[in-house]
Amino acid sequence: MSAIAKTDECFVPEQDAVPITIKVTDREGGQVRVTAAAGLSLQMAIRQAGLPIRSVCGGRKACGTCRVRIAPDWFARLQPADQVEINLLNCLKGRGESDRLSCQIRITAGLDGLAVTLDR
């Protein structure tokens, strides 16, 4: 049985606790490198880095306030959005083709280097 590492959001197996780097472009166009443990949601990782990202519904795919734009070369590498997420994204003003709800993206080791832009 593997050891467990505790994060603010959940428990993750220790082998998955290797920090993952995410490149975040903020609302002013500045670039910030966010380091987070695998297992966190992207929304929580961005928030823990002190960047402004909203989460009105608490990750229930109901508000869309956590929307981010995924860099095109990363978009196809993510687990696809389910129909509920797609429906919500389709209702949001100014939807982009690579938009996702950050609360629905679980950080994994394979996402090291992921590039996202915060919603404007």
Q: What are the residues binding ligand FES (CB under 6 A)?
A: 55-57, 59, 61-66, 101, 103
Helix (H) or strand (E) holding 12: strand 11-13
Burial of 5-14, coded b for 16+ CB within 10 Å and e otherwise, reads bebebeebee
> Would you say 56 or 109 has its CB closer to ligand FES?
56
Q: How far is the CB of 4 from ligand FES (least distance, A)?
A: 26
User: Looking at beta carbons, which residue is closest to ligand FES?
Assistant: 103
Q: How far is the CB of 18 from ligand FES (least distance, A)?
A: 25
Q: How far is the CB of 2 from ligand FES (least distance, A)?
A: 30
> Would you say 65 or 108 has its CB closer to ligand FES?
65
Closest CA to 20 of 110, 115, 117, 120: 110
Q: Rounded to an integer, what distance in angstroms lies between the CA atom of residue 112 and that of residue 120? A: 24
